[in-house]
Chains A and B, each alone.
Chain A
Amino acid sequence: MIPAAFDYKVAESAEQAIALLGEYGDEAKLLAGGHSLIPMMKFRLAAPAVLIDIARISDLSYIREADGHLAIGAMTKHIEVETSDVVAQHAPMLAHVAALVGDPAVRHRGTLGGTLAHSDPASDLPAAVLALGGTIIAHGPNGAREIAANEFFTGYFESVLAADEIITEVQIPTGTGAWNYQKFNRRAQDWSIVGVGVADGGKGISLVNMGSTPIRATAAEEALASGASAADAAALAAQGTTPPEDSNADAAYRTHLATVLTRRALEAAGVA
Protein backbone atom coordinates (compact mmCIF):
# COMPACT_ATOMS: atom_id res chain seq x y z
CA MET A 1 0.00 0.00 0.00
CA ILE A 2 1.37 3.34 -1.04
CA PRO A 3 0.13 6.72 0.20
CA ALA A 4 -1.44 9.24 -2.17
CA ALA A 5 1.10 11.69 -3.56
CA PHE A 6 2.09 14.68 -1.45
CA ASP A 7 4.71 17.41 -1.27
CA TYR A 8 7.35 16.95 1.39
CA LYS A 9 8.68 19.94 3.34
CA VAL A 10 11.21 19.92 6.14
CA ALA A 11 10.77 22.34 9.03
CA GLU A 12 14.01 23.25 10.78
CA SER A 13 12.27 24.97 13.69
CA ALA A 14 8.86 25.23 15.35
CA GLU A 15 8.51 28.74 13.89
CA GLN A 16 9.13 27.41 10.40
CA ALA A 17 6.59 24.61 10.94
CA ILE A 18 3.97 27.17 12.02
CA ALA A 19 4.76 29.33 8.99
CA LEU A 20 4.41 26.33 6.67
CA LEU A 21 1.12 25.37 8.34
CA GLY A 22 -0.05 28.95 7.73
CA GLU A 23 1.00 28.76 4.10
CA TYR A 24 -0.64 25.41 3.28
CA GLY A 25 -3.59 25.46 5.71
CA ASP A 26 -5.87 22.43 5.79
CA GLU A 27 -3.93 20.75 2.98
CA ALA A 28 -0.95 20.16 5.26
CA LYS A 29 -0.17 17.78 8.10
CA LEU A 30 2.77 17.69 10.45
CA LEU A 31 4.85 14.52 10.30
CA ALA A 32 6.63 13.49 13.51
CA GLY A 33 7.47 9.79 13.95
CA GLY A 34 4.88 8.91 11.34
CA HIS A 35 3.78 5.82 13.21
CA SER A 36 0.16 6.85 13.26
CA LEU A 37 0.04 9.09 10.22
CA ILE A 38 1.88 6.89 7.68
CA PRO A 39 -0.31 3.81 8.35
CA MET A 40 -3.39 6.04 7.90
CA MET A 41 -1.98 7.44 4.66
CA LYS A 42 -1.21 3.94 3.39
CA PHE A 43 -4.82 2.94 4.04
CA ARG A 44 -5.83 6.23 2.35
CA LEU A 45 -7.68 7.25 5.50
CA ALA A 46 -5.62 10.41 5.27
CA ALA A 47 -4.33 12.07 2.12
CA PRO A 48 -2.68 15.37 3.01
CA ALA A 49 -1.33 17.29 0.01
CA VAL A 50 1.68 18.48 2.00
CA LEU A 51 3.65 16.80 4.76
CA ILE A 52 5.73 19.03 7.00
CA ASP A 53 8.47 16.94 8.60
CA ILE A 54 9.10 18.18 12.13
CA ALA A 55 11.10 15.15 13.27
CA ARG A 56 14.35 16.89 12.35
CA ILE A 57 13.78 19.75 14.81
CA SER A 58 16.38 18.59 17.32
CA ASP A 59 15.58 21.57 19.60
CA LEU A 60 12.28 19.87 20.38
CA SER A 61 13.87 16.66 21.59
CA TYR A 62 14.85 16.93 25.26
CA ILE A 63 14.00 15.79 28.77
CA ARG A 64 14.64 18.37 31.49
CA GLU A 65 13.84 18.68 35.13
CA ALA A 66 12.29 22.08 35.80
CA ASP A 67 10.58 23.68 38.76
CA GLY A 68 8.18 21.02 40.06
CA HIS A 69 7.79 19.34 36.70
CA LEU A 70 9.53 17.44 33.97
CA ALA A 71 9.68 19.23 30.63
CA ILE A 72 9.76 16.86 27.67
CA GLY A 73 10.18 18.13 24.13
CA ALA A 74 7.43 17.06 21.71
CA MET A 75 9.87 15.25 19.39
CA THR A 76 11.18 13.04 22.19
CA LYS A 77 10.79 9.44 21.11
CA HIS A 78 9.06 6.78 23.18
CA ILE A 79 12.36 4.91 23.55
CA GLU A 80 13.96 8.00 25.07
CA VAL A 81 11.15 8.41 27.60
CA GLU A 82 11.33 4.69 28.36
CA THR A 83 15.09 4.66 29.04
CA SER A 84 15.64 8.11 30.57
CA ASP A 85 17.05 8.11 34.10
CA VAL A 86 15.47 11.52 34.71
CA VAL A 87 12.01 10.23 33.76
CA ALA A 88 12.56 7.06 35.80
CA GLN A 89 13.37 9.17 38.82
CA HIS A 90 10.76 11.91 38.53
CA ALA A 91 7.84 10.41 36.59
CA PRO A 92 8.38 6.64 36.64
CA MET A 93 4.83 5.97 35.49
CA LEU A 94 5.53 7.72 32.19
CA ALA A 95 8.68 5.66 31.56
CA HIS A 96 6.80 2.46 32.39
CA VAL A 97 3.93 3.27 30.04
CA ALA A 98 6.29 4.35 27.23
CA ALA A 99 7.82 0.86 27.38
CA LEU A 100 4.37 -0.68 26.80
CA VAL A 101 3.78 1.09 23.48
CA GLY A 102 3.80 -1.25 20.48
CA ASP A 103 7.20 -2.88 20.05
CA PRO A 104 10.79 -1.57 20.07
CA ALA A 105 10.75 -0.58 16.38
CA VAL A 106 7.61 1.51 16.98
CA ARG A 107 9.20 3.09 20.05
CA HIS A 108 12.29 4.00 18.03
CA ARG A 109 10.10 6.25 15.85
CA GLY A 110 6.96 7.40 17.70
CA THR A 111 7.09 10.69 19.63
CA LEU A 112 5.36 11.98 22.75
CA GLY A 113 4.00 15.03 20.91
CA GLY A 114 2.76 12.83 18.08
CA THR A 115 0.84 10.43 20.26
CA LEU A 116 -0.85 13.32 22.11
CA ALA A 117 -1.71 15.20 18.91
CA HIS A 118 -3.09 12.01 17.39
CA SER A 119 -5.52 11.76 20.35
CA ASP A 120 -6.33 8.09 19.91
CA PRO A 121 -8.50 6.92 22.84
CA ALA A 122 -6.81 3.50 22.57
CA SER A 123 -3.29 4.88 23.06
CA ASP A 124 -1.37 4.49 26.27
CA LEU A 125 0.73 7.63 26.70
CA PRO A 126 -2.14 10.13 26.38
CA ALA A 127 -3.92 8.30 29.21
CA ALA A 128 -0.76 8.35 31.33
CA VAL A 129 -0.31 12.10 30.76
CA LEU A 130 -3.99 12.58 31.66
CA ALA A 131 -3.76 10.60 34.92
CA LEU A 132 -0.54 12.40 35.87
CA GLY A 133 -2.19 15.81 35.39
CA GLY A 134 0.20 16.85 32.62
CA THR A 135 0.20 20.08 30.63
CA ILE A 136 0.63 20.41 26.88
CA ILE A 137 2.43 23.44 25.48
CA ALA A 138 1.38 24.41 21.97
CA HIS A 139 2.83 27.12 19.77
CA GLY A 140 0.88 28.91 17.05
CA PRO A 141 1.16 32.14 15.06
CA ASN A 142 0.18 34.09 18.20
CA GLY A 143 2.70 32.49 20.51
CA ALA A 144 2.46 29.76 23.11
CA ARG A 145 -0.38 28.47 25.22
CA GLU A 146 -0.63 25.92 28.00
CA ILE A 147 -3.37 23.32 27.82
CA ALA A 148 -4.17 21.06 30.76
CA ALA A 149 -4.36 17.44 29.60
CA ASN A 150 -7.83 17.42 31.18
CA GLU A 151 -8.98 19.94 28.59
CA PHE A 152 -6.97 18.74 25.62
CA PHE A 153 -8.91 15.81 24.16
CA THR A 154 -12.26 16.62 22.54
CA GLY A 155 -13.26 13.59 20.46
CA TYR A 156 -12.17 10.60 18.48
CA PHE A 157 -8.75 11.65 17.04
CA GLU A 158 -9.61 15.24 17.95
CA SER A 159 -8.13 17.76 20.32
CA VAL A 160 -8.32 21.49 21.02
CA LEU A 161 -5.18 21.94 18.92
CA ALA A 162 -5.77 24.43 16.08
CA ALA A 163 -4.74 23.55 12.52
CA ASP A 164 -1.83 26.00 12.70
CA GLU A 165 -0.55 24.91 16.11
CA ILE A 166 2.30 22.59 16.97
CA ILE A 167 2.85 20.85 20.29
CA THR A 168 6.30 21.82 21.48
CA GLU A 169 6.48 20.47 25.03
CA VAL A 170 4.75 18.22 27.52
CA GLN A 171 5.04 18.95 31.23
CA ILE A 172 4.56 16.30 33.87
CA PRO A 173 4.34 17.15 37.59
CA THR A 174 7.16 15.52 39.54
CA GLY A 175 7.06 13.99 42.99
CA THR A 176 3.54 12.62 42.65
CA GLY A 177 2.49 9.56 44.65
CA ALA A 178 1.94 5.87 44.05
CA TRP A 179 0.97 4.75 40.57
CA ASN A 180 0.12 1.73 38.49
CA TYR A 181 -0.83 1.04 34.89
CA GLN A 182 -2.85 -1.92 33.69
CA LYS A 183 -2.75 -2.61 29.96
CA PHE A 184 -5.12 -5.39 29.01
CA ASN A 185 -4.64 -6.96 25.60
CA ARG A 186 -4.51 -10.47 24.22
CA ARG A 187 -1.60 -10.44 21.79
CA ALA A 188 1.92 -9.08 21.88
CA GLN A 189 2.27 -5.58 20.44
CA ASP A 190 -1.48 -4.83 20.46
CA TRP A 191 -3.23 -1.74 21.71
CA SER A 192 -5.16 -1.97 24.99
CA ILE A 193 -8.61 -3.48 24.80
CA VAL A 194 -9.00 -1.45 27.98
CA GLY A 195 -6.26 0.21 29.99
CA VAL A 196 -6.28 1.93 33.37
CA GLY A 197 -3.75 4.40 34.73
CA VAL A 198 -3.64 5.27 38.42
CA ALA A 199 -1.44 8.22 39.36
CA ASP A 200 -0.64 10.07 42.56
CA GLY A 201 -2.17 7.58 44.98
CA GLY A 202 -5.46 7.52 43.09
CA LYS A 203 -5.96 11.30 42.68
CA GLY A 204 -5.70 10.71 38.93
CA ILE A 205 -7.35 7.68 37.34
CA SER A 206 -7.57 7.48 33.56
CA LEU A 207 -9.16 4.99 31.19
CA VAL A 208 -7.95 3.80 27.78
CA ASN A 209 -10.44 2.79 25.09
CA MET A 210 -13.53 3.54 27.17
CA GLY A 211 -14.92 6.35 25.00
CA SER A 212 -14.03 8.68 22.17
CA THR A 213 -11.13 10.20 24.12
CA PRO A 214 -8.81 9.11 26.90
CA ILE A 215 -10.92 9.93 29.97
CA ARG A 216 -10.69 10.35 33.72
CA ALA A 217 -12.67 7.97 35.91
CA THR A 218 -14.06 10.92 37.82
CA ALA A 219 -16.62 9.01 39.90
CA ALA A 220 -13.95 6.62 41.14
CA GLU A 221 -11.53 9.49 41.88
CA GLU A 222 -14.21 11.32 43.89
CA ALA A 223 -15.23 8.22 45.80
CA LEU A 224 -11.60 7.60 46.80
CA ALA A 225 -11.19 11.22 47.84
CA SER A 226 -14.17 10.90 50.16
CA GLY A 227 -12.80 7.78 51.79
CA ALA A 228 -14.23 4.87 49.80
CA SER A 229 -12.24 1.62 49.65
CA ALA A 230 -10.33 0.74 46.49
CA ALA A 231 -12.90 -1.94 45.66
CA ASP A 232 -15.88 0.40 46.16
CA ALA A 233 -14.25 3.19 44.16
CA ALA A 234 -13.25 0.82 41.36
CA ALA A 235 -16.85 -0.34 41.00
CA LEU A 236 -17.64 3.21 39.81
CA ALA A 237 -14.81 3.37 37.26
CA ALA A 238 -16.98 3.01 34.16
CA GLN A 239 -19.62 5.50 35.28
CA GLY A 240 -20.44 8.00 32.55
CA THR A 241 -18.35 6.22 29.89
CA THR A 242 -19.46 5.19 26.41
CA PRO A 243 -17.14 2.30 25.56
CA PRO A 244 -16.69 1.35 21.90
CA GLU A 245 -17.64 -2.06 20.50
CA ASP A 246 -15.34 -3.99 18.18
CA SER A 247 -14.17 -7.51 17.41
CA ASN A 248 -12.22 -7.61 20.68
CA ALA A 249 -14.94 -6.63 23.10
CA ASP A 250 -18.48 -5.33 23.40
CA ALA A 251 -19.42 -2.43 25.67
CA ALA A 252 -20.51 -4.62 28.58
CA TYR A 253 -17.21 -6.48 28.59
CA ARG A 254 -15.23 -3.23 28.44
CA THR A 255 -17.31 -1.86 31.33
CA HIS A 256 -16.49 -4.96 33.34
CA LEU A 257 -12.79 -4.71 32.43
CA ALA A 258 -12.63 -1.06 33.49
CA THR A 259 -13.87 -1.86 36.98
CA VAL A 260 -11.66 -4.93 37.43
CA LEU A 261 -8.54 -3.23 36.06
CA THR A 262 -9.14 -0.13 38.18
CA ARG A 263 -9.36 -2.28 41.31
CA ARG A 264 -6.18 -4.13 40.32
CA ALA A 265 -4.36 -0.87 39.60
CA LEU A 266 -5.44 0.73 42.88
CA GLU A 267 -4.44 -2.35 44.86
CA ALA A 268 -1.10 -2.65 43.05
CA ALA A 269 -0.46 1.03 43.76
CA GLY A 270 -1.16 0.32 47.43
CA VAL A 271 -4.27 2.49 47.63
CA ALA A 272 -6.35 0.88 50.35
Chain B
Amino acid sequence: MDVSMNVNGQSQSHDVEPRTLLVHHIRENVGLTGTNIGCDTSSCGACTVHLNGQSVKSCTVLAVQASDSDITTIEGLAATAQADGSAIGEQNWHPMQEAFQQCHALQCGYCTPGMVMAATSFLQENPNPTEDEVRQGLEGNLCRCTGYHNIVKAVMSAAGGA
Protein backbone atom coordinates (compact mmCIF):
# COMPACT_ATOMS: atom_id res chain seq x y z
CA MET B 1 0.00 0.00 0.00
CA ASP B 2 1.03 3.60 -0.48
CA VAL B 3 2.83 5.03 2.51
CA SER B 4 3.80 8.69 2.66
CA MET B 5 5.80 10.30 5.39
CA ASN B 6 8.06 13.24 5.88
CA VAL B 7 11.63 12.08 6.46
CA ASN B 8 14.13 14.74 7.51
CA GLY B 9 11.95 17.41 5.95
CA GLN B 10 11.47 15.62 2.64
CA SER B 11 8.23 14.03 1.59
CA GLN B 12 8.68 10.33 0.80
CA SER B 13 6.08 8.08 -0.83
CA HIS B 14 6.60 4.39 -1.41
CA ASP B 15 4.56 1.33 -2.10
CA VAL B 16 5.22 -0.90 0.93
CA GLU B 17 3.93 -4.16 2.27
CA PRO B 18 2.05 -3.56 5.56
CA ARG B 19 4.43 -5.86 7.41
CA THR B 20 7.47 -3.72 6.54
CA LEU B 21 9.17 -2.44 9.67
CA LEU B 22 9.90 1.27 9.83
CA VAL B 23 13.63 0.59 10.18
CA HIS B 24 13.68 -1.46 6.96
CA HIS B 25 11.62 1.20 5.22
CA ILE B 26 14.07 3.92 6.25
CA ARG B 27 17.13 1.91 5.29
CA GLU B 28 15.95 0.15 2.17
CA ASN B 29 13.21 2.29 0.60
CA VAL B 30 14.19 5.78 1.72
CA GLY B 31 17.84 4.77 1.47
CA LEU B 32 19.16 6.25 4.72
CA THR B 33 21.43 3.73 6.38
CA GLY B 34 22.54 5.79 9.37
CA THR B 35 19.85 4.11 11.44
CA ASN B 36 21.24 0.76 12.55
CA ILE B 37 19.65 -2.55 13.44
CA GLY B 38 21.10 -4.22 16.50
CA CYS B 39 18.96 -6.64 18.47
CA ASP B 40 15.84 -6.44 16.28
CA THR B 41 13.83 -7.07 19.48
CA SER B 42 13.28 -3.55 20.90
CA SER B 43 16.02 -3.95 23.49
CA CYS B 44 19.14 -2.15 22.24
CA GLY B 45 17.96 1.17 20.81
CA ALA B 46 20.36 1.12 17.82
CA CYS B 47 17.34 1.76 15.58
CA THR B 48 16.06 4.82 17.50
CA VAL B 49 14.58 7.60 15.35
CA HIS B 50 12.16 10.42 16.13
CA LEU B 51 8.52 9.94 15.20
CA ASN B 52 6.71 13.27 15.46
CA GLY B 53 9.56 14.50 17.62
CA GLN B 54 9.73 11.60 20.08
CA SER B 55 12.21 8.75 20.24
CA VAL B 56 10.89 5.38 19.07
CA LYS B 57 12.54 2.07 18.28
CA SER B 58 11.97 1.75 14.57
CA CYS B 59 12.35 -2.04 14.65
CA THR B 60 9.10 -2.14 16.65
CA VAL B 61 7.05 0.24 14.53
CA LEU B 62 5.49 -0.66 11.19
CA ALA B 63 6.08 1.73 8.32
CA VAL B 64 2.30 1.93 7.87
CA GLN B 65 1.92 3.13 11.46
CA ALA B 66 4.21 6.04 10.62
CA SER B 67 2.39 7.08 7.48
CA ASP B 68 1.53 10.80 7.47
CA SER B 69 4.08 11.35 10.26
CA ASP B 70 7.32 13.29 10.58
CA ILE B 71 10.42 11.14 10.92
CA THR B 72 13.86 12.43 11.84
CA THR B 73 16.86 10.16 11.50
CA ILE B 74 20.47 10.79 12.44
CA GLU B 75 21.05 12.15 8.91
CA GLY B 76 18.48 14.87 9.53
CA LEU B 77 19.86 16.13 12.81
CA ALA B 78 22.70 18.39 11.70
CA ALA B 79 21.55 21.72 10.35
CA THR B 80 23.63 21.31 7.20
CA ALA B 81 22.68 17.73 6.50
CA GLN B 82 20.89 16.92 3.30
CA ALA B 83 17.77 14.85 3.59
CA ASP B 84 19.28 12.21 1.32
CA GLY B 85 22.17 11.75 3.71
CA SER B 86 24.78 13.28 1.42
CA ALA B 87 26.95 16.13 2.59
CA ILE B 88 26.41 15.50 6.25
CA GLY B 89 27.62 18.79 7.64
CA GLU B 90 31.21 19.19 8.62
CA GLN B 91 30.07 22.30 10.36
CA ASN B 92 26.81 22.94 12.11
CA TRP B 93 26.63 19.59 13.77
CA HIS B 94 23.74 19.29 16.14
CA PRO B 95 24.96 20.21 19.67
CA MET B 96 24.51 16.60 20.72
CA GLN B 97 26.71 15.38 17.86
CA GLU B 98 29.25 18.02 18.78
CA ALA B 99 29.16 16.89 22.41
CA PHE B 100 29.63 13.23 21.42
CA GLN B 101 32.74 14.25 19.46
CA GLN B 102 34.13 16.46 22.20
CA CYS B 103 33.56 13.93 24.98
CA HIS B 104 34.76 10.89 23.00
CA ALA B 105 31.36 9.33 23.49
CA LEU B 106 31.81 6.72 20.79
CA GLN B 107 34.15 3.84 20.19
CA CYS B 108 32.97 1.56 17.38
CA GLY B 109 30.07 3.93 16.76
CA TYR B 110 27.42 1.29 16.19
CA CYS B 111 25.12 2.46 18.96
CA THR B 112 25.83 6.13 18.30
CA PRO B 113 23.02 7.12 15.90
CA GLY B 114 20.47 5.57 18.27
CA MET B 115 22.15 7.06 21.32
CA VAL B 116 22.15 10.53 19.79
CA MET B 117 18.50 10.28 18.74
CA ALA B 118 17.45 8.96 22.16
CA ALA B 119 19.51 11.65 23.90
CA THR B 120 18.07 14.54 21.88
CA SER B 121 14.52 13.32 22.50
CA PHE B 122 15.33 12.93 26.19
CA LEU B 123 16.69 16.49 26.53
CA GLN B 124 13.54 17.88 24.92
CA GLU B 125 11.54 16.26 27.71
CA ASN B 126 14.07 17.01 30.43
CA PRO B 127 16.34 19.93 29.46
CA ASN B 128 18.21 20.11 32.79
CA PRO B 129 18.73 16.54 33.88
CA THR B 130 20.88 15.15 36.65
CA GLU B 131 23.45 12.54 35.69
CA ASP B 132 21.23 9.85 37.15
CA GLU B 133 18.29 11.04 35.06
CA VAL B 134 20.46 10.83 31.93
CA ARG B 135 21.29 7.22 32.77
CA GLN B 136 17.58 6.45 33.31
CA GLY B 137 16.65 8.34 30.14
CA LEU B 138 19.06 6.26 28.06
CA GLU B 139 18.21 2.93 29.67
CA GLY B 140 16.75 1.65 26.42
CA ASN B 141 20.03 2.12 24.53
CA LEU B 142 22.86 -0.33 24.87
CA CYS B 143 26.49 0.36 24.01
CA ARG B 144 28.34 -2.88 23.34
CA CYS B 145 31.65 -1.05 23.72
CA THR B 146 30.23 -0.09 27.14
CA GLY B 147 31.31 3.52 26.77
CA TYR B 148 28.49 4.74 28.98
CA HIS B 149 30.62 7.05 31.08
CA ASN B 150 31.50 9.36 28.20
CA ILE B 151 28.04 9.09 26.67
CA VAL B 152 26.54 10.40 29.89
CA LYS B 153 29.21 13.10 29.99
CA ALA B 154 28.32 14.13 26.43
CA VAL B 155 24.61 14.38 27.21
CA MET B 156 25.34 16.43 30.34
CA SER B 157 27.58 18.67 28.30
CA ALA B 158 24.97 19.12 25.55
CA ALA B 159 22.48 20.02 28.27
CA GLY B 160 24.90 22.67 29.46
CA GLY B 161 25.33 20.84 32.76
CA ALA B 162 29.02 19.95 32.70
Contact = CB atoms under 8 A, between A and B. Distances in A.
A134 B21 CA distance: 35
A236 to B, nearest CB: 33
Interface stretch (B5-13, B56-64, B94-102, B104-112): B56-64
A1 B40 contact: yes
A122 B40 CA distance: 21
Contacts of A8: 1, 18, 62, 64
Contact of B54 (A5, A102, A108): A108
B19 A5 contact: yes
Interface stretch (B70-78, B81-89, B118-126, B153-161): B118-126
B80 interface: no
Contact of B60 (A4, A35, A104): A35
A267 interface: no
Interface in B24-65: 24, 40-43, 45, 48, 51, 54-57, 60-62, 64-65
B18 A7 contact: yes
A162 interface: no
B1 A109 contact: no
A137 B18 CA distance: 30
B19 A4 contact: yes
A3 B19 contact: yes
Interface residues of A, number: 29
Contacts of A109: 56, 60-61
The B interface, classified by DSSP as helix, strand, loop or mixed, is mixed
Contact of A105 (B18, B20, B48, B65): B48
B65 A53 contact: yes
A87 B147 CA distance: 37
A39 interface: yes
Contacts of A38: 60-62
A83 B48 CA distance: 21
A5 B54 CA distance: 28
A5 B60 contact: no
Nearest to A53: B65
Given A1-B40, A6-B19, A34 B60 contact: yes
A31 B42 CA distance: 17
28 contacts: A3-B19, A5-B17, A6-B18, A6-B19, A8-B18, A8-B64, A34-B61, A34-B62, A34-B65, A38-B60, A39-B42, A39-B60, A41-B19, A53-B64, A83-B125, A103-B139, A103-B140, A104-B121, A104-B125, A104-B137, A105-B48, A105-B55, A105-B57, A105-B118, A106-B42, A106-B57, A108-B51, A189-B140
Top 3 nearest A-B pairs by Cβ distance?
A103-B140, A8-B18, A188-B139
